[in-house]
Structure formats: C-alpha cells, structure tokens
Amino acid sequence: MAAGAEAMAALPEEWRLYFVPTRIATFRNWPFTEDCTCTPERMAAAGFLHCPVENGPDVAQCFFCFKELEGWEPEDDPLEEHKKHSASCAFLSLRKDPTDLTMQEFLKLDRERMKNAIKKEISQKMTEVEDTAKKVHHEIEDLVS
C-alpha cells in the first residue's frame, strides 16, 4: 500500500469524504456516465455521494450538508443543482482544496458538517416519533369507538 493510501485509510471515514476520489468511488451503477453533464466525476466534485435506494437509483446526497436529490436528468449540472437546493452549504463556499486547509480551518469546517449530520438525524427521529404518535392516536380512537 502506498504511503498516501495508508494515510487516507487512517482517516475517519467521514473525513475521507472530503476527497473527490472517495466520493467518486460511491458512484457504482450511476445511471449517467457518458455524454451527460452529471457524470460521477462532476457529481463528486459538487460534493455528492451516490446513495441509491430500491425506488431511487439516482439518489445523491451531499456529504457535507446531507441534502438528498433525485430525479436527475442527463443535462443537470450537479454544482448548479446543489446551489439551487442547498445554497447555504458551507462546502459550496469553500475557497480552498481540503488538503490546503490548516488543521484549525479543517476542524472548524468539519464542525459545521457534524452539526448538519446531527440536524438531519434529529429531523429523521422527529419524523419517526410523529409517525408513531399518529399511529398510536388512531389505535386509541379505534379502541374508544
């Protein structure tokens, strides 16, 4: 294993996502490759990971702001779509390559990514709680009537 690969492997998985090749590797079976604007390389450069699901083979998620987008068309520009749907993503305003950041700059940036991850997790849990509450409410109504 090359020294660079060893160093990369030693990083936490979340930190490896700052590197375009790591994100490109997630685009296995991506439906748009040749003669398209939204190639795996351009998707990864815009911060996206490929997160396919059964009913959504083209789901992509920003590794930083966690915005998920699907319904991609071959001519969609990944960077423009990212800006349109998540303009406040700090990754989009990054002016340096992640390898050129100081440790302090990187940790400050990653703190924002972690906040985004926590917000997304809380939102998902809140949706689960609300769905469960609705089910329980309906079950109680059924018992009473």
Average pLDDT score over the chain: 92
**Domains of the chain (ranges, CATH numbers):** 3-144 (1.10.1170.10)
What pTM does this model have? 0.83
The pLDDT assigned to 4 comes to: 66
Distance CA 138, CA 140 (A): 5
Distance CA 109, CA 96 (A): 11
Buried b (16+ CB within 10 A) or exposed e, 39-65: bbebbbebbbbbebeeeeebbbbbbbb
Q: Which residues contact residue 66 at a Cβ distance below 8 angstroms, ignoring those fewer than 6 apart? A: 116, 117, 119, 120
CB atoms closer than 10 angstroms to residue 67 = 18
The pLDDT assigned to 33 comes to: 87
Q: What is the pLDDT of residues 34-66, one digit of tens each?
A: 899 999 999 999 999 999 998 889 999 999 999
